[in-house]
């Protein structure tokens, strides 16, 4: 009963979620939802805002952090003047051919040249260094557009800037930035991120590649091999992680991970042939080998022995981009499903008139809403990736189900094959969920209580408190989330530091806590976005946010 009511409460606001300009005909909730969804993207205000540009740039919303639906005015103007999403949208739609890219197993040079000309290879590089200088929110907008059209192209761009040279942006010295970023931003040189090895995947700390400082102290000698490196065969600049001897304050020497900027031009850098993959075939993936590579000491990235910190910060940025891209992918998939449902007739009626199809599309829209909320919130990155990748897989699979036999034919199934890697990329969902579980248990029962000593959840608390102040109904859903988390972890003491290894070995318990914690942090993100769409936005949009969250909690989460 609760799920049915939540579904009905979502359906009407979802007619605003994909709202058509003007008034809606007086139709039933479910049929009204379908009636609106079947409208083409060019007639949908919400889609037009995100995909084609103009309305979003005219927004008057000036909330402190922006929101999932709007950018700040100055952010909008910057994005519109440098890289209008309208231009990128039409370019990818008219010039890029995903099917041809897959067949060739590379991106056509003409497509790459156009992307370079638009500045798509240096989206977050400062303007003074040749880039566009976008913020994370602006970057998320652009990545969403790419995700709608071609995930293979998205991976190539993301491997270059989200992780490839991100370390230089975050940890590079002024000299390193001035030397490398201009050519990287223009696309003249391509970057790659080199961490994974045959014996180290999720356990990144166990890498075997070594870098030893010369007696003169002028260079490091790098030896080792990396596998499954995106852009590995085409990159000229590599962010490489290796074990280096580090002297402890006690005088003991230990091997610790350090990060380096490595040029192919240094010599000794070789790449294997492109890997044959299930999906994202147009992106280059290859092994990279380093044989006695002489790396100048000034190319150390960050501090000696602090490479693991560098790697984790870079990967978090990559995960943010992944979630944003998948939000766009889900939107494109939903439009295809709705278009088919609105035109396909069976048993004398359009299949959009059948309740089973309507509920599928409602659930798909709900999962897309939750996915889009995360990159624009203070939600933890690990929850963002694990849930976004699984939501995108579910939505795409349901789209194929709605399309029936047509969905199984080539080209249409391309998205599903491309998506499969995202549950493995940059930390498998299983591993990420364990980290989420640990965090969730730390905050169990005290998420709403300000705690200065827990800085990692301060922003989440601030967002949540504001949402609770603006919308009292949020408390009901947060109580549901906390109840689920406590139910999963009730036998565990709240402080588990020092017992992490034991906890991780309890797989069933850890996975349950991971799911519950993910739900809790995701809910915090959904609740936190309500104030921003309630201030200055149309009341329908705020209603959509509240009811979309209500459906996600009561109707979309079967475990609750």
**Phi/psi at 260 (5° precision):** -135, 150
Specify the pairing of strand 300-301 against strand 253-263.
Answer: antiparallel
What 8-state DSSP symbol labels residue 108? -
Q: Residue 457 is encoded by which pair of tokens? A: 């959840």
For residues 161 and 172, what is the distance between their CA atoms, to the nearest angstrom?
A: 14
Structural element, H or E, at residue 318: helix 307-343
Please give the sequence-ordered ranges of beta strands (E in DSSP) within 113-268, or none if there are none: 191-194, 210-213, 219-230, 237-247, 253-263
Contact 497, 352 (CB under 8 A): no
Strand, helix or coil for residue 123:
coil
Strand, helix or coil for residue 416:
helix
Residues 82, 83, 86, 89, Cα dihedral to 10°: 170
Strand, helix or coil for residue 548:
helix
- Catalytically annotated residues: 426
3-state secondary structure 334-402: HHHHHHHHHHCEECCEEHHHCHHHHHHHHHHHHHHHHHHHHHHCCCCHHHHHHHHHHHHHHHHHHHHHH
Strand, helix or coil for residue 285:
strand
For residues 289 and 51, what is the distance between their CA atoms, to the nearest angstrom?
A: 40
Give the Å distances, CA to CA, from 221 to 96, 199, 212, 339, 559. 41, 21, 5, 58, 53
For residues 488 and 96, what is the distance between their CA atoms, to the nearest angstrom?
A: 47
For residues 308 and 48, what is the distance between their CA atoms, to the nearest angstrom?
A: 41
For residues 110 and 538, what is the distance between their CA atoms, to the nearest angstrom?
A: 42
Contact 442, 494 (CB under 8 A): yes
For residues 395 and 362, what is the distance between their CA atoms, to the nearest angstrom?
A: 11
Residue with tokens 């029962």: 445
């Amino acid at each position: 009963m609760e799920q049915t009511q939540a579904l009905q409460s979502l359906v009407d606001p979802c007619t605003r979620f994909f709202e058509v300009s003007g008034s809606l005909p007086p139709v039933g909730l479910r049929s009204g939802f379908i009636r609106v969804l079947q409208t083409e993207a060019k007639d949908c205000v919400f889609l037009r805002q995100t995909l084609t540009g103009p309305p979003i740039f005219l927004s008057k919303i000036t909330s402190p952090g922006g929101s999932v639906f709007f950018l700040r005015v100055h952010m909008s103007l910057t994005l519109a003047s440098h890289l209008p999403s309208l231009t990128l949208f039409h370019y990818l739609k008219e010039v890029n051919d995903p099917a041809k890219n897959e067949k060739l197993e590379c991106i056509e040079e003409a497509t790459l040249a156009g992307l370079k000309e638009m500045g798509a290879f240096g989206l977050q590089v400062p303007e003074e260094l040749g880039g566009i200088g976008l913020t994370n929110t602006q970057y998320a907008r652009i990545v969403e557009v790419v995700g709608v059209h071609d995930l293979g192209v998205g991976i190539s761009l993301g491997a270059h800037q989200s992780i490839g040279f991100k370390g230089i942006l975050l940890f590079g010295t002024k000299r390193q930035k001035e030397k490398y970023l201009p050519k990287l931003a223009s696309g003249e040189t391509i970057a790659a991120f080199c961490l994974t090895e045959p014996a180290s995947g999720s356990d990144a700390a166990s890498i075997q590649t070594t870098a030893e400082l010369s007696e003169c102290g002028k260079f490091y000698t790098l030896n080792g091999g990396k596998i499954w490196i995106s852009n590995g065969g085409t990159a000229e600049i590599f962010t490489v992680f290796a074990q280096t001897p580090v002297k402890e304050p006690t005088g003991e020497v230990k091997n610790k991970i350090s990060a380096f900027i490595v040029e192919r031009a240094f010599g000794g850098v070789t790449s294997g042939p492109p890997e044959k993959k299930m999906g994202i075939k147009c992106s280059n993936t290859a092994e990279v080998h380093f044989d006695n590579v002489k790396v100048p000491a000034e190319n150390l990235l960050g501090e000696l022995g602090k490479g693991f910190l560098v790697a984790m910060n870079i990967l978090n940025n990559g995960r943010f981009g992944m979630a944003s891209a998948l939000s766009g992918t889900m939107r494109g998939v939903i439009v295809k499903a709705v278009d088919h449902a609105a035109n396909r007739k069976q048993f004398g009626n359009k299949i959009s008139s059948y309740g089973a199809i309507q509920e599928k599309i409602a659930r798909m829209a709900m999962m897309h809403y939750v996915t889009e909320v995360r990159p624009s919130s203070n939600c933890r990155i690990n929850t963002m990736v694990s849930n976004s990748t699984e939501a995108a897989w579910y939505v795409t699979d349901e789209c194929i189900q709605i399309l029936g036999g047509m969905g199984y034919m080539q080209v249409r199934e391309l998205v599903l094959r491309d998506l499969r890697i995202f549950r493995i990329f940059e930390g498998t969902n299983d591993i990420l969920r364990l980290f989420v579980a640990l965090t969730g248990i730390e905050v169990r029962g005290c998420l709403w209580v300000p705690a200065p000593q827990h800085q990692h959840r301060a922003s989440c608390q601030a967002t949540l408190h504001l949402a609770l102040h603006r919308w009292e109904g949020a408390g009901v859903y947060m109580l549901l989330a906390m109840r689920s988390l406590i139910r999963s972890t009730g036998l565990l003491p709240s402080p588990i530091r020092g017992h992490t290894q034991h906890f991780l070995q309890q797989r069933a318990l850890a996975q349950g806590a991971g799911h519950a914690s993910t739900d809790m942090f995701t809910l915090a993100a959904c609740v936190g976005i309500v104030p921003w769409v309630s201030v200055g936005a149309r009341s329908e949009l705020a209603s959509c946010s509240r009811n979309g969250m209500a459906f996600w909690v009561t109707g979309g989460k079967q475990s609750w």
